[in-house]
Amino acid sequence: MKSRWIVNILLLALVLAIVVFIKLRPQQEIVKEVAYEVSALKLATFTKVSIEFPTKAPVAFEKVYGYWYIAKPYKARADQMLVMRILSLVAAKSAQKFEATDLTQFGLDQPKLKLKFDNEEFIFGTFNPVTSEQYVAYNNHVYLLPVSYAENAQSPVEEYLDKSPFKPDEQKKIAGFDFSHLEQWEEVRLNVDLVDGKWKASPEKAKPTQNEMNEWFDSYWRNMSVQRVEPYTPDRKTTYPSFEVKLNDGRKVHIDKIQESPELLLGRPDEGMMYHVPPDIGFTLLNPPINLGK
């Protein structure tokens, strides 16, 4: 019994010693990671973006009425999110900041890439083999940044094209379709219109179901699946089957059906753009479920 008490006293003493050691030991200083802001610029203030390469033609964007457009090498609507990814550079932070006194040291004497946002210039140099980051110079300082900033800016120009056949303001105003100039609908002169929230079809024997029409419109037109976009020059000597998308402000968007198989090719002559649509989606796109009786 006495030996058990001795053991308990020794254990208690050991616990007390550990507690005293933990409380009295020197506390390690918490090291905070330093993050340097590359700039204090604001994304919304810019109206021009230029991407300059050492061995190929530059790509330029311009904001018009609140939306980004490709200005070079040709004029076209741009994918708004991709342009914003490029501009996100102004909000970047870096763990390293150097004085831009020796450009050769960072490969900035022969830049891999230059980004210009209005009059602000960012220069991209070589890569750091230890961190796998890239040296970027701005406003007399050099920062180490992820390579994703350069990768976003070096995409092929086709990647920057807006994948929607409609301008942002047009997409919200679609109120009907005139399919009467497509081969399968020429005889019945098919028109479908959204009137007071309900779909109506021009042939009297058509019996469109509202749920089916809404699903068709939401799935295939409001969220159109386009595989690829490319510029094209309309052949004025060729008359293509075509249709028109009606807008609720009275405007119409003319679209040519250039090809139906093996994929649907839709051309917008007024903008000089051609859209590649998968064949299964393309068929449903141009054939609304109007339940045409016999």
Residues 49 and 107 in one domain: yes
How many structural domains is the chain composed of? 2
| Final residue belonging to a domain, choices 108, 138, 159 | 159
Residues 68 and 117 in one domain: yes
- Read off the pTM: 0.78
The CATH number of the domain holding residue 80 is 2.60.40
Residues 183 and 115 in one domain: no
Q: Is residue 17 part of a domain?
A: no
Q: What is the pLDDT of residue 31?
A: 47
Residues 194 and 101 in one domain: no
Residues 146 and 184 in one domain: no
Residues 150 and 174 in one domain: no
Q: Is residue 233 part of a domain?
A: yes
Q: Is residue 48 part of a domain?
A: yes
Q: Is residue 4 part of a domain?
A: no
Q: Is residue 261 part of a domain?
A: yes
Q: What is the pLDDT of residue 148?
A: 95
Residues 197 and 233 in one domain: yes
Q: What is the pLDDT of residue 30?
A: 46
| Final residue belonging to a domain, choices 110, 130, 159 | 159
Residues 234 and 278 in one domain: yes
| Final residue belonging to a domain, choices 159, 176, 204 | 159
Q: What is the pLDDT of residue 16?
A: 61
Residues 212 and 155 in one domain: no
Q: What is the pLDDT of residue 161?
A: 95
CA 290 – CA 185 distance, rounded (Å): 12
Q: What is the pLDDT of residue 69?
A: 96
* Residuewise pLDDT in 10s, the chain (294 residues): 555 556 556 555 655 666 555 666 655 554 456 788 999 999 889 999 999 999 889 999 999 989 999 999 999 999 999 999 999 999 999 999 999 888 899 999 999 999 999 999 999 999 999 999 999 999 999 999 999 999 999 999 999 999 999 988 898 899 999 999 999 999 999 999 999 999 999 888 888 999 999 999 999 998 887 899 999 888 888 889 999 999 999 999 999 999 998 999 999 999 999 999 998 899 999 999 998 865
Residues 175 and 62 in one domain: no
Q: Is residue 3 part of a domain?
A: no
Domain that holds residue 88: 36-159
Contact status, residue 43 vs residue 87, Cβ threshold 8 Å:
yes
Residues 113 and 174 in one domain: no
Counting every residue, how long is the chain?
A: 294
Residues 205 and 151 in one domain: no
Q: Is residue 153 part of a domain?
A: yes
